[in-house]
Amino acid sequence: MSPRNKVCILGSGNWGSTAARIIAENVTKLPSFDNTVKIWVYEEIVDGKKLTEIINTHHENVKYLPGHKLPHNVVAVPDAAEVVKDATHIVVVIPHQFIQHLLDTIHGSTRPDARAISLIKGIGISNQGMTTMTQIIHRTLAIPVSSLSGANIANEIAEEKYCETTIGCSDPDEAIVWRSLFNTPYFQVNCVNDVIGVEFCGALKNVVAVGAGFIDGLGLGNNTKAAIIRIGFLEMRRLAMHISGAQIQESTFMESCGIADVITTCYGGRNRRLAEEFVKTGKSMTQLEKELLNGQKLQGYLTAGEVHSYIDSRGVNDHFPLFTNIYQICYEGKPPHSIFDGLNVDFSNDTRTPSPAL
Amino acid sequence: MSPRNKVCILGSGNWGSTAARIIAENVTKLPSFDNTVKIWVYEEIVDGKKLTEIINTHHENVKYLPGHKLPHNVVAVPDAAEVVKDATHIVVVIPHQFIQHLLDTIHGSTRPDARAISLIKGIGISNQGMTTMTQIIHRTLAIPVSSLSGANIANEIAEEKYCETTIGCSDPDEAIVWRSLFNTPYFQVNCVNDVIGVEFCGALKNVVAVGAGFIDGLGLGNNTKAAIIRIGFLEMRRLAMHISGAQIQESTFMESCGIADVITTCYGGRNRRLAEEFVKTGKSMTQLEKELLNGQKLQGYLTAGEVHSYIDSRGVNDHFPLFTNIYQICYEGKPPHSIFDGLNVDFSNDTRTPSPAL
């Protein structure tokens, strides 16, 4: 009897390649899974050779995860539609601005019984509401979509340093399968049944990290940074509940995708770093994006704008003083020290009877 | 009409002197309080002069808070019984090992309508149960006792860097008064009605900081440290609930005394630092206390032992794998990397319907 299931990976950047390593090792121990793990690689030429050929010959993604061998059962394929066509489990891990184009490419090629999981960080919040990556994927492919997010710096995982992650999956049986694909002794997976709560955490934490960077730029201390992390974390939870109400579970915020990822992102990462530079140099965020990110957009800066558009259109700015201050410092020229204005908000009534996690 | 209330401070270390500065400024704006703030100073000779005389003449605690002037309405007194005798509000802020001796000294001198607040970090947990500082104070003085704790490095507060703190007070009216004595634009006070929850946070966070220091000593990254902080924080909450059940409120852990103080302590402070040295040098904790703390006891190391004694006597070690691992690494020679053993605990059922905060 041939294995029932087949997993594939869409995306071969730093995080996609790291996920491929973990999954390809795990499937060899899972009898219900085919051993081959196809990974879609956006074809590019590296040192005169196709990246797919390099990966399939040398078993290393020399461009995006150099120094870490991939298992031999990882097979790089340049055609995304070809990758998904026989897959029951589709892992989506590409930069969020490319998602719609990728979905259009594979639309019609996926199996009707397939399911997907999104490892993408980012969310679309506007004054019309918000759309998460799992919702965008589900809308095009009409299959169940789960989410995965956590305090997961890809290189540290590739070095097999202990960490945790969170899978949001609404079906308890499917959650077990996804967990079996990702869990390792050094990459510990917890499952919750709150798909979009996990996604909100992954997106909103970048705004808090911008605030933490301002504190570093102002040369303030540990107490102050901890206060900003605490208030930012509680505004994240409040905003997610404001947008999605009963769908969001408070307990999700205590998982790796929540509090742990906020902490990591506020002490490392480029959102924090650029915000620190913003205060120290007095340059605009756009200028710093040009100088330090080759013009790439800073996620926390973008999301701060989207969050503001949402809360401003609903007139609830007073309930989100930190997010409002961060927005005004980034976009409206308010001085960085105004980050403390009106922060004495009471969050103690935000909690309610929690729903049990999986 | 003379003011009804009079506040005094017992203890003039780094934190006591900082608290005196804040309170002495605040009382001048509070008509119901006498302007004079007596502070008990353990008399010692500094540069040939009595410390009380230096404080009363130069308005600076040159030994414990050098470089920061105290308001002129702070009056240093070497006799603790004299300090408390007309006080309605007693602030207790001394190292926890001296508390019983101090209480015996002032016993019989306090007004029957006085109330106290404890700023002391530390808790007594043994296999018989646990005793908090507010309970010890209440037992001797028979007056209501509140608690104050938060992400509060004294020097940063003395420099007026923004931070937050938490007051635990069971009487809502009294909470307002305590808040008015401590709150400033740069020292933001939130009140909760969970006195001992606040104290548990202040004591247990030091154990988590020892774990965080091990991670730094092992040279692991941000992901790993965030995972340890997350799990440690959830074991703190679980242990406080295990010991004191319904008295503890989950929401207390989201205040400054909880999550913010854990973060601060895991990134700075001597518990983290000694634990890092422990891993890097291979020396015993006792040896490091001698070398780096002049033989003073490390709070997190002590508390790790007390916590273990409690959970071991009740056979609930499996519910506290991180605290158990930290204990075994500190006291039983287990290798630091064993900190990750069996950490995949499910905390999602620890939450329950929260009690509203003040």
Residue A257 reports pLDDT greater than 70: yes
Q: What is the pLDDT of residues B75-89, one digit of tens each?
A: 999 999 999 999 999
Which two structure tokens, joined as six digits, stand for A59? 């078993």
Which amino acid belongs to residue B257? C
Looking at the complex, does the CB of residue A18 fall below 8 Å from at least one CB of chain B? Answer: no
Looking at the complex, does the CB of residue B341 fall below 8 Å from at least one CB of chain A? Answer: no
Which residues of chain B does A191 touch, with a Cβ-Cβ cutoff of 8 Å? none
| pLDDT of the residue at B349 | 78
Q: Which of these, A64, A23, A263, A241, lies nearest to A148 by C-alpha position? A: A23
| pLDDT of the residue at B301 | 94
| pLDDT of the residue at A356 | 31
Query: What average pLDDT does this structure show over A260-269?
Result: 94
User: What single DSSP character describes residue A258?
Assistant: I
Which amino acid belongs to residue A300? G
Which residues of chain B does A343 touch, with a Cβ-Cβ cutoff of 8 Å? 188
| pLDDT of the residue at B344 | 83
- A338 — pLDDT class (breaks 50, 70, 90): very high
In whole angstroms, what is the distance from residue B258 CA to residue A332 CA?
Answer: 33
pTM attached to this predicted model: 0.93
- Rounded (10°) angle between helices B270-281 and B285-293: 120
Looking at the complex, does the CB of residue B257 fall below 8 Å from at least one CB of chain A? Answer: no
In whole angstroms, what is the distance from residue B34 CA to residue B330 CA?
Answer: 49
Q: What is the pLDDT of residues A115-142, one digit of tens each?
A: 999 999 888 766 667 889 999 999 999 9
Residue A187, phi then psi, degrees to nearest 5? -130, 90
| pLDDT of the residue at B164 | 96
Strands A115-118 and A89-92 come out as: parallel
Looking at the complex, does the CB of residue B259 fall below 8 Å from at least one CB of chain A? Answer: yes
Shortest Cα distance from A256 to chain B (angstroms)? Answer: 7
pLDDT in tens, chain B (358 residues): 578 999 999 999 999 999 999 999 999 999 999 999 999 999 999 999 999 999 999 999 999 999 999 999 999 999 999 999 999 999 999 988 899 999 999 999 999 999 999 999 888 766 667 889 999 999 999 999 999 999 988 889 999 999 999 999 999 999 999 999 999 999 999 999 999 999 999 999 999 999 999 999 999 989 999 999 999 999 999 999 998 888 889 999 999 999 999 999 999 989 999 999 999 999 999 999 999 988 888 999 999 999 999 999 999 999 999 999 999 999 999 999 999 999 988 888 786 543 333 3
Residue A169 reports pLDDT greater than 80: yes
Q: Which helix (H) or strand (E) holds A3?
A: none
Question: By CA distance, what is B160's nearest residue in A?
Answer: A220
| pLDDT of the residue at A333 | 95
Q: Does domain B7-193 have CATH number 3.90.1170.50?
A: no
Q: Which of residues 125-154 of B touch A (CB under 8 A)?
A: 151-153
In whole angstroms, what is the distance from residue B299 CA to residue B286 CA?
Answer: 12
Looking at the complex, does the CB of residue A51 fall below 8 Å from at least one CB of chain B? Answer: no
Size of interface A-B (CB pairs under 8 A): 157
Q: Where are the beta strands (DSSP E) in chain A?
A: 7-10, 37-40, 45-46, 49-50, 74-77, 89-92, 115-118, 123-126, 129-132, 145-149, 163-168, 187-192
- A230 — pLDDT class (breaks 50, 70, 90): very high
In this structure, are residues B300 and B118 in contact, taking their beta carbons and an 8 Å threshold?
no
What class is the B197-340 domain? mainly alpha
Q: Which of these, B168, B123, B178, lies nearest to B258 by C-alpha position? A: B168
Looking at the complex, does the CB of residue B25 fall below 8 Å from at least one CB of chain A? Answer: no
Q: What is the pLDDT of residues B54-68, one digit of tens each?
A: 999 999 999 999 999
- A88 — pLDDT class (breaks 50, 70, 90): very high
Test B227 with A348 for CB contact under 8 angstroms.
no
Q: Which of residues 157-186 of A touch B (CB under 8 A)?
A: 157, 159, 161-164, 185
Active site amino acids of A: 205
Q: What is the pLDDT of residues A13-38, one digit of tens each?
A: 999 999 999 999 999 999 999 999 99
In this structure, are residues A167 and A191 in contact, taking their beta carbons and an 8 Å threshold?
yes
| pLDDT of the residue at A353 | 42
Residue B248, phi then psi, degrees to nearest 5? -90, 140
In whole angstroms, what is the distance from residue A176 CA to residue A167 CA?
Answer: 10
Q: Tokens 């102002």 belong to which residue? A: A218
In this structure, are residues A93 and A119 in contact, taking their beta carbons and an 8 Å threshold?
yes
In chain A, CATH 3.40.50.720 sits at 7-193
| pLDDT of the residue at B355 | 31
Q: Which helix (H) or strand (E) holds A134?
A: helix A133-141
Test A221 with B153 for CB contact under 8 angstroms.
yes
| pLDDT of the residue at A164 | 96
Which two structure tokens, joined as six digits, stand for A45? 């030429």
| pLDDT of the residue at B130 | 80
Average pLDDT, chain A: 93
CB atoms within 10 A of CB B216: 20
Shortest Cα distance from B48 to chain A (angstroms)? Answer: 35
To test the contact with chain A by mutation, choose from B189, B223, B266 the residue with the greatest count of A C-beta atoms within 10 A, namely B223
| pLDDT of the residue at B353 | 42
Neighbouring residues of B125: CB distance < 8 A, sequence distance ≥ 6: B203, B243, B303, B306, B307, B309, B310
| pLDDT of the residue at B220 | 95
Residue A236 reports pLDDT greater than 80: yes
| pLDDT of the residue at B356 | 31
